[in-house]
């Protein structure tokens, strides 16, 4: 590891206090932030309105590390998948998803994943380590740059890449504050989505953070037994406790929750699942994102037919649960969670 910290690990306030500690006026922090987050400077030498002496000092005390691009794949629909290599050779994925109305970055929060969901490529190679705040923010900066090639600038962030965001809570919160801050990347909190496999205590903590971010829950099961099979995390934080934490979150934050639900033939896409979900969601304001299962060779699941998925959606809607089927993006570049990293490590 490099011995100096990455300057992107610092909030504006951190940078101001660092400057004070080296007897430099704190207003320089705003200028440095502008260089990093607005102008995308890749080194301290580019910061032309910063006195040379201070630039040298910054170079001594910090690094400004870009991610090395191991692979970049552009799908026919414009979805662009990056495989980045970190200082310790760990690989992480980030995906840019341009649409006519928004440009979304899908960001990783950990190298590997310890949650081992039985449909997801991210968990297959196990867990390596948490990403630092700088490593999270730097993915966003790379994708912001890439987004300039598309119709719209980067507008949305989803933490749906490799890893469990709420299992790296401190670094995630710090990164979100820089991504959200006006002096930072300046993406509105409502345009930032945290997706979780259901780490119940952290959902409670998130409710107390006072951030206006969106919360998505990877539900993928319709009751306790079905979720136990697909998501080992359910043994620790069972289905009913998770739904109760969601109700509490909505009550506290007055924000709606999105549930993600993978459609797997004869497993999650069944009439029994509909009646169970209807019961679980009673009185809860939420919407469901139905995600067609994207085959991963290690698992034995099948994607339902288009008709089966539409029937499933319609019966949920008939039961009063608002549901939409997500259009798969970037299929030709293995864009589902962890697939590219997994293929690379194989």
Residues labelled as active-site residues = 93, 337
Does 337 help bind ligand SAH (rule: CB under 6 A)? yes
Per-residue interface string for the shown chain with ligand SAH, residues 162-181, x marking contact by CB under 6 A: --xx----------------
Closer residue to ligand SAH (CB): 28 or 341: 341
DSSP 82: E
The least distance separating ligand SAH from the CB of residue 109, rounded to whole angstroms, comes to 8
Q: Which residues of 242-274 are buried (b: 16+ CB within 10 A; e: fewer)?
A: bbebbbebbeebeeebbbbbbbbbebbbbeebb
Which residues, 217 to 236, sit near ligand SAH by CB under 6 A? Answer: 218
Phi-psi region of 74 (alpha: psi -120 to 50; beta: other; left: phi over 0): beta
* Contact predicate 158/107, CB 8 Å: yes
* Contact predicate 84/94, CB 8 Å: yes
HSE-up of 54 (CA within 13 Å, CB side)? 21
Q: Which residues contact 11 (CB under 8 A, 6 or more apart)?
A: 174, 177, 178, 181
Does 203 help bind ligand SAH (rule: CB under 6 A)? no
* Contact predicate 232/115, CB 8 Å: yes
* Contact predicate 303/263, CB 8 Å: yes
Q: Which residues contact 39 (CB under 8 A, 6 or more apart)?
A: 46
- Span from 17-25, 37-45, 58-66, 194-202 in contact with ligand SAH (CB under 6 A): 194-202
Closer residue to ligand SAH (CB): 139 or 294: 294
Which residues, 40 to 69, sit near ligand SAH by CB under 6 A? Answer: none
The sign one gets for the Cα dihedral 218, 224, 226, 229 is positive
Closer residue to ligand SAH (CB): 32 or 288: 288
Among 172, 185, 230, 291, binds ligand SAH (CB under 6 A): 291
Does 195 help bind ligand SAH (rule: CB under 6 A)? yes
Closer residue to ligand SAH (CB): 58 or 123: 123
The least distance separating ligand SAH from the CB of residue 85, rounded to whole angstroms, comes to 21
Does 340 help bind ligand SAH (rule: CB under 6 A)? no
Per-residue interface string for the shown chain with ligand SAH, residues 306-325, x marking contact by CB under 6 A: --------------------
HSE-up of 268 (CA within 13 Å, CB side)? 30
- Span from 61-69, 184-192, 249-257, 288-296 in contact with ligand SAH (CB under 6 A): 288-296
Element (H, E) at 209: helix 200-209
DSSP 123: G
Does 147 help bind ligand SAH (rule: CB under 6 A)? no
Among 184, 336, 340, 342, binds ligand SAH (CB under 6 A): 336
Residues binding ligand SAH: number (CB under 6 A):
17
Q: Which residues contact 99 (CB under 8 A, 6 or more apart)?
A: none
Does 242 help bind ligand SAH (rule: CB under 6 A)? no
Closer residue to ligand SAH (CB): 161 or 184: 161
Residue 77 in tokens: 């629909």
Does 262 help bind ligand SAH (rule: CB under 6 A)? yes
Which residues contact ligand SAH by CB under 6 A? 119-120, 160, 164-165, 195-197, 218, 260, 262, 291, 293-294, 296, 336-337
């Amino acid at each position: 590891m490099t011995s100096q910290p990455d300057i992107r690990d610092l909030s504006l306030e951190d940078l101001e206090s660092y400057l004070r500690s080296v007897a430099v006026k704190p207003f320089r922090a705003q200028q440095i932030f502008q260089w990093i987050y607005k102008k995308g400077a890749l080194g301290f030498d580019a910061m032309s309105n910063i006195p040379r002496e201070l630039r040298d000092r910054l170079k001594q005390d910090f690094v400004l590390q870009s991610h090395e691009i191991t692979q970049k794949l552009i799908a026919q629909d414009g979805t662009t998948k990056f495989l980045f290599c970190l200082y310790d050779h760990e690989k992480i994925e980030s995906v840019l998803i341009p649409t006519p109305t928004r440009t979304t970055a899908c960001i990783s929060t950990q190298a590997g994943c310890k949650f081992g969901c039985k449909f997801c490529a991210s968990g297959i190679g196990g867990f390596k380590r948490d990403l630092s705040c700088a490593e999270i923010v730097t993915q966003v900066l790379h994708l912001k740059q890439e987004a300039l090639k598309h119709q719209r600038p980067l507008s949305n962030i989803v933490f749906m890449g490799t890893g469990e965001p709420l299992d790296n809570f401190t670094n995630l919160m710090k990164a979100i504050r820089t991504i959200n801050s006006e002096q930072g990347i300046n993406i509105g909190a409502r345009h930032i989505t945290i997706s979780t496999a259901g780490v119940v205590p952290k959902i409670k903590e998130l409710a107390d953070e006072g951030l206006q971010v969106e919360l998505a829950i990877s539900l993928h099961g319709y009751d306790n037994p079905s979720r136990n099979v697909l998501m080992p995390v359910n043994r620790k934080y069972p289905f009913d406790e998770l739904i109760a934490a969601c109700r509490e979150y909505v009550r506290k934050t007055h924000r709606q929750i999105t549930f993600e639900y993978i459609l797997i033939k004869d497993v999650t896409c069944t009439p029994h699942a509909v009646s169970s979900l209807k019961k679980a969601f009673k009185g809860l304001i939420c919407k469901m994102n139905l995600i067609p299962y994207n085959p991963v060779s290690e698992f034995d699941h099948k994607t339902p037919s288009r008709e089966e998925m539409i029937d499933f959606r319609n019966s949920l809607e008939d039961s009063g649960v608002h549901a939409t089927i997500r259009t798969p993006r970037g299929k030709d570049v293995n864009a589902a969670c962890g697939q590219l990293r997994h293929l690379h490590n194989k």
